[in-house]
Structure 1
Amino acid sequence: MNTAATFKAFRVEETEGNFTTSIKDMPFKSLETGILLIKVHYSSLNYKDALSATGNKGVTRQFPHTPGIDAVGTVVETKSDAFKTGDKVIVTSYDLGMNTDGGFAQYINVPATWAVKLPENLSMKDAMIFGTAGLTAGMSVLRLTQLVKPEDGTIVVSGATGGVGALSVSILSKLGYTVAAITGKESESAYLTKLGAKTIITRSEFEALDNKPLLKPQFAGGIDTVGGVILENIIKATQPMGVVTSCGNAASIKLNLTVFPFILRGVSLIGIDSQNYPMAYREQVWQKLANEWKPDTLADTCNEITLNELDANIALILKGQIKGRTVVTLEA
């Protein structure tokens, strides 16, 4: 157990409907049965964290609160037989950083059932370059590659400069797939090409496609991270027996579609739920991310910051001005 009386945490506080952030000294809590105390080495900044940090009650209901839906670190105290002191573990999603204090802190208390042992071939920093975004990308790739092979044709990835999108492009490219990347940031074409994209499609160009029930089939499959018109057009432009995964709704939660892509082309739409993904599948995806799926360009998707730099980066991510992954170091 750490001998210090307090630890540092990035706290969000509410006063009469106004939200402020600061770094606070927080006291340790007594552990209950089934709980781990983890010394956090790294976290990462996600869009959901930015929403929590700015008082979005759809993400976090009660304040004060510590955001951070991702964390990796070392177990320093345990009330569970599943882990022992010194184990290195990853914690992503579930309720972490939403209504349970999250990874923007030097220590977290979490149920042992939320933790995955860090794979041997994965560093702590690499685990957070992946984080929930990597887990989501990995889940999407797993479902897609079960049904679509590289020789079947091009896979399209939307929101390609974002965390999930960039990692999806990298993983698919490593697995031998031809990837087309959809982005609203034309200036990042070189970045996407370096990650492995063979074709760059501008978001405005793709959104402006004809509003027909079906479009010319272009893709064997797709990984969509944004929803809305982009997802509609991916589905309508997917070839017979193609597969599209859906994991995001930043553009819209609504779909304006006919059933034609599904009953005339046999297209499959698969939803991806990273928050409550079963543990057996989480462990499978993490092992793949640590080994045969680990992109050679993984470090190229990362920017490392400290707790003191969170406010500025939260503002950027809310404006859509961050590419790739932002890792938060908690190491002194």
Structure 2
Amino acid sequence: MSAVNALVAHQDAEGGIALRHEIVDDTFLPEGDVTVSVEYSGINYKDALAVTPKGGVARSYPLIPGIDAAGTVTASSSSQFAVGDRVVAHGYDIGTGRHGGYADTARLPADYLVKLDGLTTGEAAAIGTAGFTAAMSVNAIRDHGVRPQDGPVLVTGATGGVGSISVDLLAGLGYEVIASTGKAEAHDYLMGLGAYQVIGRLPEQGEKVRPLGKSKWAGVVDSVGGDTLAYALSTLNYAGVAAISGLARSADLPTTVMPFILRGVTLAGIDSVQLAIGPRREIWKQIEGELKPKHLNEITKDVPVLEAPHTLRTIIGGGVTGRTRVVVHDGF
């Protein structure tokens, strides 16, 4: 047996959740083909929900959170991976149903892992679930046939992880990006990522969402939901597409069928959790190439793993901009 440093979430009899540093032995970890020395994880909204009472994502406790994990293979019974390989893992039940990345060691099935060739483990963790979701969203817009010359692309929740990397990727591909955010102080940050224009939250205060509004966008990347998504759908160009991946504002969608049947718009759901490992690995190859964020350093800030609990509380209230990478290997 060997010792594992970890942040472990426990639920008490009243439903409260405490996240604290513990040293456990490796029998605490689940079965898996590959053992990884975790170097980095990340802060995602889902990580915060996993340690929030009635958050609805954790299956059981005690739990090591962290839906992202990037590091180096230290043991493997799989022919796909060898000791020394750099890998990243995210999605599936990592950090929700099985122990995740907020520990210096993870044990995972081989078919959860992606081998890194063109990225460091630090870069992969900075991209993480949010950046992968952004890449899927950008692909959905391109696969729908939306080209840069077809008109602007709206990115809602633009200062979040998905939003920030979507702005970066779309601008890098030549799209005119309209970044929507409620953070007025983030104007320069978003312009620095390549946004053509930065606007406030949609709909504007007091503005009514019409069944059909004036056409404005060729595509939308939305991680907000609620009336923001309803507004975006009602103002999409004919045959436009909205790639949706979040519900930061609301899970409700107060809209009508009119955008779909009168303008032929498409609502494309983006799910990075259950995506099969084959397509997952192919998208990571794209991320190592044409879909590598150009401004990853500007988007990313680091926190030691022992400071992750504070940042998790902050992200729930919308107080985090860009990506927060959790430094695990030197963080305990």
TM-score in terms of structure 2 length: 0.95
Matched with 2:124 is 127
Matched with 1:140 is 137
Q: Does 1:327 align with 2:325?
A: yes
Contact 1:75 1:86 in 2 (8 A): yes
* Offset at residue 136 of structure 1 (A): 0.4
Matched residue SS, 1:327: strand
Deviations 1:207-262 (A, max 9, x none): 64333210000000100001110111111100011111110112111212221111
Q: Does 1:13 align with 2:10?
A: yes
Matched residue SS, 1:203: coil
| Residues 67-82 of structure 1 mapped to structure 2, 5 A cutoff | 67-82=65-80
Matched residue SS, 2:27: coil
Q: Pairwise CA RMSD of aligned residues?
A: 1.7
1:115 paired residue among 94, 113, 122 = 113
Counterpart Cα distance in 2 of 1:32 and 1:58: 22
Counterpart Cα distance in 2 of 1:217 and 1:206: 16
| Residues 142-181 of structure 1 mapped to structure 2, 5 A cutoff | 142-146=139-143, 147-181=145-179
1:313 paired residue among 300, 311, 324 = 311
Counterpart Cα distance in 1 of 2:236 and 2:150: 11
Q: Does 1:228 align with 2:226?
A: yes
Matched with 1:185 is 183
Contact 1:44 1:326 in 2 (8 A): yes
Letter of the aligned partner of 2:191 in structure 1?
Answer: T
Letter of the aligned partner of 1:217 in structure 2?
Answer: S
* Offset at residue 93 of structure 1 (A): 0.9
Deviations 1:304-324 (A, max 9, x none): 011121122112111111100
Matched residue SS, 1:311: helix
Contact 1:207 1:229 in 2 (8 A): no
Q: Structure 1 residues 36, 30: CA separation in 2 closer, same or farther (over 3 Å shift)?
A: farther
Q: Structure 1 residues 228, 107: CA separation in 2 closer, same or farther (over 3 Å shift)?
A: same
Contact 1:157 1:169 in 2 (8 A): yes
Matched with 1:29 is 27
Letter of the aligned partner of 1:67 in structure 2?
Answer: P
- Structure 1, unpaired ranges of 5+: none
Count, aligned residues: 328
Q: Structure 1 residues 30, 46: CA separation in 2 closer, same or farther (over 3 Å shift)?
A: closer
Contact 1:160 1:169 in 2 (8 A): yes
- Identity between Structure 1 and Structure 2 (%): 38
Q: Does 1:291 align with 2:293?
A: no
TM-score in terms of structure 1 length: 0.95
